[in-house]
A and B are shown apart, each in its own frame.
Chain A
Amino acid sequence: MLEPLERARFEECVLPHLDAAFNLARWILRDKSNAEDATQEAMLRAYRFFGNFRSGDARAWLLQIVRNCCYTSLQKNRPGEDLEELDEASAPSAGPSPEAFAMAIHDRERVTRALETLPAYFREIIVLRELEGCSYKEIAAITSRPIGTVMSVLSRARHQLRDALSEPQRKEAHRAV
């Protein structure tokens, strides 16, 4: 008896964020078919636990579940794969000039490759901020990190992405797939 109402509410609150869910999974996993599996799994999990979701930001709630599914999948399929701790020691050097990567604009393939060379935690924060337009607070909720950490991870992710974009193609060729 509860089912139709609950399902309608789920369709209204959560399903519209399917694209955002898939997009995040695609960039964390770097593989469309794995991303489909993870998204599907996440949607089912979200449906199962939908009773716990009262109100608030349905997108952030869903993306948190998607993210968990993705990291579970990463650990299962490629143990140890770019999930190293984000230590402060790996702070990047000074950034390149803006002109250096102005050429990358509209070059989808090149930006995709550059983004994919980043560690998963950096990829996800760039996707959440730049592609999904999430606020710091939303990113903090999705990634279960304090806002201060979000800011520092985002800063380093951008730095590394800028480096990857201004780097000549050779480094991209060495990327482990």
Chain B
Amino acid sequence: MPCEISGIQLQAYFDGELDAVAAAHFERHLESCPHCAAALASENALRRALGGAQLCERAPAALRQKVRSQLPATFPTPAMKSQVWRWAALAAGLLVAVLLGREIFGLLHAPSEATAFSAAVVDAHLRSLQPGHLTDVQSTDQHTVKPWFDGKIDFAPSVRDFANDGFPLLGGRLDVVAGKTTAVLVYGRRKHIVNVFVLHSPPNRIPADSGERQGYHWLSWQQDGLNYIAVSDVATSDFQDLRNLFLKE
């Protein structure tokens, strides 16, 4: 290394693993060190090559099915024979009964419209993952996707490609969610698909903020009088990044 910064340190900066002070220190160094600047560019080029190659592979549907179907048979119950465990099981059973009771009570009293709506959105997301259902207009170009919606819906969703921020636009489609015509923007996130549903609806029908259902998360926000609901199996922090990108003008 022709300078005092080690390759490991540079890499930690590149991976966002340096604390704020160390990162600031490195950035100051970077201004005057062409060697580190070149090394950083090289790391970036490699990341772009890996990202651009779309290497992530989703689990095949058959595997998902197989895993699901085999789960219940393997649940461990060997220790149940001893007397102690009998009592433990009884206690646990009572607890479960109480919990289930609360759950059912909660379900009966939940604001059902919002719940039904979030279920409908997750269902629409699952449907979109079936082969051939993801996009009606397949394009990474926002200037192709946005005009495609013209004349099909009576509102104008914000359509932008966030490829540089890790959310490439894959296309768009029309969907009907809970009886409402909905514009859907489809984004990629690593190997995951994010559906962003955009619709015009009274706010009380839309579930607030965020939630989870069947392992899928959703996050909703309002923008220019429209409701946006992102659904995917990505991490919650990814959702917040996407929402911030949308809200950033």
Q: Which residues of A contact B (CB under 8 A)?
A: 1-3, 5-7, 10-12, 15-16, 18-19, 21-23, 26-27, 32, 36, 39-40, 43-44, 47-48, 51, 95-98, 101-102, 104-108, 110-112, 115, 126-127, 129-133, 135-136, 151-152, 154-155, 158, 161-162, 165
Contact partners of B63 in chain A: CB under 8 A: 18, 22, 36, 39-40
Q: Which of A11, A108, A111 has the most CB of B within 10 A?
A: A111
In the assembly, what is the distance between CA of A39 and CA of B55, in Å?
A: 18
Contacts beyond the supplied A2-B89, A19-B56: 7 A-B pairs with Cβ under 8 Å: A32-B60, A36-B60, A44-B74, A115-B55, A130-B50, A131-B191, A151-B12
* Dominant SS among interface residues on chain A: helix
Contact partners of A43 in chain B: CB under 8 A: 67, 71
The answer to whether B92 and A1 touch across the interface, beta carbons within 8 angstroms, is yes
Contact partners of A152 in chain B: CB under 8 A: 8
The answer to whether B76 and A161 touch across the interface, beta carbons within 8 angstroms, is no
Contact partners of A132 in chain B: CB under 8 A: 190
Contact partners of B67 in chain A: CB under 8 A: 15, 18, 39-40, 43-44
Interface status of B105 (Cβ within 8 A of chain A): no
Closest Cβ of chain B: how far from A167's Cβ, in Å?
Answer: 14
Closest Cβ of chain A: how far from B180's Cβ, in Å?
Answer: 27
Checking A5, A27, A136 against B17 with a beta-carbon cut-off of 8 angstroms, the contacting residue is A136
Closest Cβ of chain A: how far from B109's Cβ, in Å?
Answer: 20
* Dominant SS among interface residues on chain B: helix
In the assembly, what is the distance between CA of A161 and CA of B48, in Å?
A: 13
In the assembly, what is the distance between CA of A165 and CA of B42, in Å?
A: 12
Q: Which residues of B contact A (CB under 8 A)?
A: 7-8, 11-12, 15, 17, 38-39, 41-60, 62-64, 66-68, 70-72, 74-76, 89, 92-93, 96, 99, 190-192, 212, 214-216, 233
Checking A23, A96, A111 against B49 with a beta-carbon cut-off of 8 angstroms, the contacting residue is A111
Contact partners of B38 in chain A: CB under 8 A: 97-98
Question: Could you list 7 examples of A-B contacts with CB < 8 Å?
Answer: A2-B96, A7-B71, A22-B58, A104-B53, A130-B47, A131-B56, A155-B7
Name the 5 nearest CB pairs between A and B, nearest first.
A111-B53, A22-B59, A16-B215, A98-B45, A106-B52
* A-B contacts at CB below 8 angstroms, number: 149
The answer to whether A19 and B17 touch across the interface, beta carbons within 8 angstroms, is no
The answer to whether B212 and A40 touch across the interface, beta carbons within 8 angstroms, is no
Q: In this complex, what residue of B is CB-closest to A137?
A: B17
